[in-house]
Amino acid sequence: MRLSRYRVKAIGGAIAAAVLVLLLIVMLPAMNGGKEADQMNEKPLFEERQLFEPGEGGYPVFRIPGIVATGKGTLVAYAEARSTTSDWAKMDLVMKRSEDGGQTWGALQVLVRNAPSESTTYNNPYMIAEKGRNVVHFLYCKNYHEVFYMKSENGGKDWTEPVNLTDSTIAKFRAEGQQPRPYQWKVVAAGPGHGIELRNGRLLAPVWLANGPTDRNHGPSVVTTIYSDDKGATWKTGEILYDSAQVKSPGEPTAVELQDGSVMMNIRSGLKMRSVSVSPDGISRWTPMKPDEVLVDPSNFAGIARYSFREENGHNRILFTNANDAAHRRNITLRMSEDDGKTWTYSRVVQPGQGAYSDVNVAPDKTIHLLYEQGVGIKAVRLNAAWLMSGEELENLSFDTGELTPSFRSGVHEFTLDVREELTSITVTPKLPAHSGALVKINGQMLSAGGDLKVSLQSGAETKLRLTVESPKGEVRSEYNVTVRKSLPKGTMVGYWNFDQVGEDGKVTDQGEMHNDGTAKGVTAVPGKAGGALQFGGGYVDIADGKGFAFGTGDFTAALWAKADRLDEFMTLLWYGDVGATANGWYVRTQEHDKLFFRTGGGTGETLMGTSKAVLTPGKWTHIAAEKKGNVMKLYIDGQEVQTKVTTLNFDVNGKSNALRIGKPKTGETRYWAGAIDEVRLYNYALSDAEIKQLYESAKGTGQ
């Protein structure tokens, strides 16, 4: 744009000058924002890769990701490299560098390494990149008790020797004079994520401190900052944020500079949403923490970053990423605010499935770089604002059944859905970004906003689904094709024991097609919920070497009716597989007396989920179902889902002992079920909500 195209009428020197100034103010965003305007008009960019692969470098687990971009464009991504999933595992700290904007990444480098004889937890790697130079500042912790500092002048190629900041800086949080009052911390941790350099040059690093019963407890906790006004030569403590009326035991903070130069801290809490506080300088006079009800969170770490200040291009923009789910670590979502986090104008799902900690940062060319945990590895996403602001692509596509290949992710438009051979219909649920004004059609049929569609399947042939995202005028903006194949074996009930009759030899007949008969020991026949039942009080039913019991990493459902005489702290209903903390197998039992728990495990670990509230009452028949579908575990009570857990790992539950025991653990003489059990069913697939409700309804009005 050339000034010569605009003529300002000479009406006096002062007025002309004022008009010229006004013209420059109007033009400045366009002149400075031309590059951004081009970016808004460019093709949306979304590229994803596995950046830290489990097993890489001999490390089975990578967690706690962070990423920075230097003023010269160098990217540094970093993480904990763990020996196990434990927060107190032996850990090294590792990084990777990119000098081409994240298109390629260098080899894994170890920043902080355990000595051969050492078993130290080096935790919470945390970096700050300077805006105008290729300088990176690095903070990290040792055993959650000490904090160290290193510096690189060449974008992470070389690092200074570590300096211990514990006595010189961190200990001062305990000392008299600390504002608003000292805190006798036992645990300290940086971030995680990344710190920031303010426009005035201050380096700012949010940290959290804990003072629990021992030096291994991460709560109760407080949040605060440490800062440097001399480019890392010395570090000082900021004021501590203690509990507010609404927010208790805050932790894992991250920070961003606001348009007016103040600093907003975004904080993890136990409220199932993020909490925020603002300081005029990042170190003092913090406002009382308050929850942000829009930023739903499962008590997880989240990342925040400045995309642009208004003086750069006319836009005041902040990015925020987290697992956008109140209960589960899944649904990694990237948001953009244009008013310093008061509202979030744009929002898109990066990963609809399992995902935990995430961090985001912005390169000088305005490319956005996001890291997130999935399983025990870390993925990297390279994207742009055009992708985030677009409302013309699906952000999720889900089905009520089947296996989708590949799993849904942005940029993929061709899919195959494999379903069980006996199915006659499926339900399709497409999802658009919240800010989208587009419409979705499936095979030409328009869906209501946020709706789904039940689709009939062709018998003996593939069914083709064409999903289109269209403008209100009917212009096709994006298209997705799904081929549905009836390629999976018929879902089977692999066991059904109604306990109506027990043979003189203790034989319990399987009423299903697999003939997995069992043997009862120490139980008695009693009236049941439907027909007869068995009374347990130390006895059990064993189904040895059951056909169809080896579910592996696949789906399954277990269901039964139960009536407790009393509720001990632990009472076992079903136990399949082996015995031990990481044994292959699964079980369903009471825990904490009246709560229900479901466990799966397989060699390297286990997942134990349980209801948060009481669900069982002595003397009352209750229908119970436990279901595993992919990496989602569910519990149902009386036909209604009461608890869901998204698991990090999907274990192979096949035990060396391919046997199911009903009413008692496979080891010891305690923790047995005290009461009656009836109508035990086991399926080699995940039943739908409707099918589980039908099981409950079929016997709801019978029995006692």
Are the CB atoms for 392 and 386 separated by under 8 Å? no
Instruction: Tell me the mean pLDDT in the region 327-354.
Output: 96
Q: Clarify whether residues 425 and 551 are in a common domain.
A: no
Q: What percent of the chain has pLDDT over 90?
A: 86
User: Are 403 and 313 in the same domain?
Assistant: no
Please give the structure tokens belonging to residue 181. 């009052």
DSSP 548: T
Q: Are residues 484 and 497 in the same domain?
A: no
How many domains is the chain built from?
4
- On the question of pLDDT at 164 being above 70, the answer is yes
| Average pLDDT of the segment spanning 507-517 | 95
Last residue of a domain, one of 389, 424, 450: 389
Confidence of residue 56 (pLDDT cuts 50, 70, 90): very high
Q: Which of 431, 453, 488 is the last residue of a domain?
A: 488
Asked whether residue 40 carries a pLDDT value surpassing 90, the answer given is: no
Question: Residues 377, 427: one domain?
Answer: no
Does residue 585 fall inside a structural domain? Answer: yes
Say if residue 291 is in the same domain as residue 404: no
Backbone angles phi, psi at 699, to 5 degrees: -125, 10
- Do 531 and 450 sit in the same domain of this protein? no
Which position has the token pair 């990481």? 582
Same domain, 424 and 499: no
Domain containing residue 469: CATH number: 2.60.40.10
In a domain, 8, yes or no: yes
Q: How many CB atoms lie within 10 A of CB 310?
A: 12
Nearest Cα residue to 79 out of 253, 301, 331, 304: 301
Statement to judge: residues 50 and 8 lie in one domain: no
Provide, rounded to the nearest whole percent, the portion of the chain with pLDDT above 70. Answer: 94
Confirm whether 169 is domain-assigned: yes
Can you tell me which residue has the tokens 């008013």? 339
> Does residue 187 sit in the same domain as residue 247?
yes
At 6 the pLDDT is 30
Q: What is the mean pLDDT of residues 481-495?
A: 94
Question: Is the distance from CB of 609 to CB of 635 less than 8 angstroms?
Answer: yes
pLDDT (mean) for 476-504: 94
CA distances 684 to 183, 489, 553, 556, 679, Å, are 54, 10, 11, 5, 17
Pick the closest to residue 31 from 5, 64, 3 (CA basis). Answer: 3
Predicted local confidence at residue 703, as pLDDT: 59
Q: Where are the beta strands (DSSP E) in 324-475?
A: 330-337, 346-354, 358-362, 368-374, 377-383, 396-399, 403-405, 414-420, 425-431, 439-442, 445-446, 453-456, 463-470
For the stretch 539-549, pLDDT in tens is 999 999 889 99
Asked if 369 contacts 67 with a C-beta cutoff of 8 angstroms, the reply is yes
Same domain, residue pair 579 and 430: no
The tens digit of pLDDT for each residue in 229-246 reads 999 999 999 999 999 999
- Letter for the amino acid at 471? S
What average pLDDT does this structure show over 239-258? Answer: 97
Q: How does residue 7 score in pLDDT terms, banded at 50, 70 and 90?
A: very low
Q: How many CA atoms lie within 13 A of 205 on its CB side?
A: 35
Give a yes or no: residue 435 inside a domain: yes
> Strand pairing of 476-488 and 414-420?
parallel
Spatial CA neighbour of 458 closest among 491, 426, 499, 502: 426
CB neighbours of 611 closer than 8 A, spacing ≥ 6? 595, 596, 597, 635, 637, 642, 643
Interval 635-659 mean pLDDT: 93
Residue 704, domain member (yes or no): no
Instruction: Give residue 42's pLDDT.
Output: 81
CATH code for the domain of 257: 2.120.10.10
The predicted model gives 135-153 an average pLDDT of 98
- The mean per-residue pLDDT over the stretch 551-564 comes to 96
34 pLDDT exceeds 50? Answer: no
The whole-number pLDDT of residue 704 equals: 57
Please, what is the average pLDDT of the chain?
92
Residue 159, CB-side half-sphere exposure with 13 Å CA sphere: 19
Q: Which of 389, 418, 434 is the last residue of a domain?
A: 389
Mind giving me the DSSP string for 233-295? SS-EE---B---SS--S-EEEEEEE-TTS-EEEEEE-SSSEEEEEEESSSSS-PPPPEEEEEE
Identify the pLDDT of residue 545. 85
Same domain, 26 and 103: no
360 in any annotated domain? yes
**Structural domain that includes position 351:** 41-389
In a domain, 694, yes or no: yes
Q: What is the mean pLDDT of residues 187-197?
A: 97
CB atoms within 10 A of CB 109: 16
pLDDT score of 20 more than 60: no
Say if 200 falls within a structural domain. Answer: yes
* Least confident span in 48-62, 268-282, 520-534, 643-657: 643-657
Q: What is the pLDDT of residue 13?
A: 46
pLDDT at position 41: 62
DSSP state letter for 299: S
- Assess whether 340 and 234 both reside in one domain: yes
Instruction: Calculate ∠ Cα 541-544-549, nearest 5°.
Output: 105
Decide if pLDDT at 592 tops 80.
yes
pTM of the model: 0.84
Q: Tens of pLDDT along 203-234?
A: 999 999 999 999 999 999 999 999 999 999 99
What pLDDT is recorded for position 490? 87
